[in-house]
């Protein structure tokens, strides 16, 4: 007899899930991935990357790392870094990391969905 699949909620109430071999921290993040995949298929965006990592540097010193949900290129060549957020996940830590990335040259601006 097989074990039933168990879902666990994280501290923000989100349920981790899996789709097409990719793991997501929430159903909302998975659903956004499905939309982005359809945009890739239709040619609206390209170079979709899941969970890209960025080093956080201040005055030339690495102080940490930020992992976004998605990075992709629009048809015009502009790069979008996107994070699926709820009110509960807009923590002080996240806001600080977002501000640090915005100081880079060129700035890394995070789009929240």
* Domain membership of residue 94 as a residue range: 17-112
In a domain, 30, yes or no: yes
For range 45-49, the mean pLDDT: 97
* pLDDT given at position 14: 78
CA distance 16 to 10: 8
Measure Cα distances from 75 to 17, 34, 45, 67, 80 in Å: 30, 18, 6, 24, 11
53 occurs within a structural domain: yes
Residue 12 falls inside a structural domain: no
85 within some domain: yes
Confidence at residue 10, expressed as pLDDT on a 0 to 100 scale: 66
SS3 37: helix
Work out the average pLDDT over 16-21.
90
Q: What pTM, to 2 d.p., does this model score?
A: 0.85
**For residue 60, how far is the Cα from the chain centroid?**
25
Average pLDDT, the chain: 91
Q: pLDDT per residue over 73-111, tens digit each?
A: 999 999 999 999 998 889 999 999 999 999 999 999 999
What pLDDT does 9 receive? 63
Q: Kindly report the CATH number assigned to the domain that includes residue 64.
A: 3.40.1350.10
């Amino acid at each position: 007899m097989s074990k039933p699949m168990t879902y666990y909620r994280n501290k923000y109430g989100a349920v981790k899930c899996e789709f097409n071999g990719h793991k997501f921290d929430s159903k909302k993040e998975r659903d956004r991935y499905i939309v982005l995949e359809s945009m890739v298929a239709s040619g609206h965006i390209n170079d979709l990357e899941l969970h890209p990592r960025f080093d956080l540097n201040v005055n030339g010193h690495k102080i940490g790392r930020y992992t976004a949900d998605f990075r992709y290129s629009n048809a015009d060549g502009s790069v979008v870094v996107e994070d699926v957020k709820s009110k509960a996940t807009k923590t002080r830590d996240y806001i600080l990391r977002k501000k640090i990335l915005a100081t880079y040259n060129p700035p890394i601006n995070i789009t929240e969905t």
